[in-house]
Amino acid sequence: MGIEANLKKEGINVIEELDKIKVNTIAKNVAQKIVAAFPSLDLKLGEIFIRLAQIKMYYAEVPKGFSEANYFYKNSSIYINHEIPEEEIEKYVMHECIHYLQERKDKSGFLLRLGLCDLTQYKVHGLALNEAAVQLATAKAFKEEKDNVKYYGITFNTISPMCYPIICNLINQMAYVTGEEALFDSTFNANDNFKNVFIEKTSEKAFYELESNFDKILKYEENLIKLNNKLEITDNLNSSANKKKLKIKNDIQKTFMDSQRIIIEGYFDKAFKNIINLEQVENYRRSLYNFKDLVGFVDGKDEFNEYYIKAMSKLEAKYNELEEGNLEDSEEVVNLPAERKNKIVLFFQTIKKFLFKSGEEYRKEEN
């Protein structure tokens, strides 16, 4: 099937090609933002600009519910909704430019990999995971501010409130486990660094369950868009479609919460088992506490707070064991600097009072 046929199949009708000067301006501005946002990747501004300037860009009519800009790897072109104001084009094109930078093809032009997405196996792996990573990178490149939003009954913070907010939040939680450098290294350089680090910190089972859940969430949201379009045509009088819509929203909420649980339990349960000294007790406590800023909450449910309370209770018992020298590495406990010991002792002197705070008080607690 040719490019034109593919485009028509997707409902995209080309209007005109952007002139070279406009493409070069977009390429320069996008390249500058990417290089500035990810200094640890050691990206070269000149190289990024030259690559992006090679992309063909077109104004086009796109179907309702589609992205405002779409990248087609078969002809290395970006199709931009002609209704987008000119001053906002870079905002939408950035995501597609990152897709272009992350693709890896063989000599015949066959796409092998797209960042976190592996296309070499019998089944495509990591497509939604990669979309989340690219959008998170896009939001960081534009220095977007954190916003508190509510979707599908889930309240959470995100720097991408309008585009892939649910999976962006989850990929951000995963990046907390691996470190952002590992995530964006794999996003731009199309390697397994992020995957391997996450598996090391949690488990292989956790990673693949999350990969599958990301795909599910995107599929649910796609179905929701189709239903919303149908309901607009029928003036919201289709009760069967409305019931399906509610079910999809509930499915998204459940998949999100299941995914969040996998991340929390996979990472913090394993980290707890590896605690062998008082320094690690404090590091664990701080790491778990700071994670609260990333999690999503559903009204009437506070699963993270419940997990935190149980973890702190176990941590107190672990601390007591370490202080009494009951664990093998008690020498490390003895050698811990006095000021560090005092801080940890003070922490556990107040822990019981903290444990009985309400969920609302807990969420308002500052670092």
Domain boundaries along the sequence of the chain:
1-105, 275-367
How does pLDDT run along the chain (367 residues), one tens digit per residue? 578 888 888 889 999 999 999 999 999 999 999 999 999 999 999 999 999 999 999 999 988 767 899 999 888 899 999 999 988 999 999 999 999 999 998 888 888 999 999 988 778 889 999 999 999 999 999 999 999 999 999 999 999 999 999 999 999 999 999 999 999 999 999 999 999 999 999 999 999 999 999 999 999 998 998 888 777 776 666 678 788 999 999 999 999 999 999 999 999 999 999 999 889 999 999 999 999 999 999 998 889 999 999 999 999 999 888 877 755 444 444 444 555 444 544 444 444 344 434 344 444 444 4
- Identify whether the C-beta of residue 264 lies closer than 8 Å to the C-beta of residue 291: yes
pTM of this structure: 0.86
- Residue-by-residue DSSP string for 80-144: EETTS-GGGHHHHHHHHHHHHHHEEE-TT--EEEETTEE-SSSS-B-HHHHHHHHHHHHHHHTTP
Task: Map residue 334 onto helix, strand or coil.
Answer: helix
CATH number listed for the domain at residues 1-105: 3.30.2010
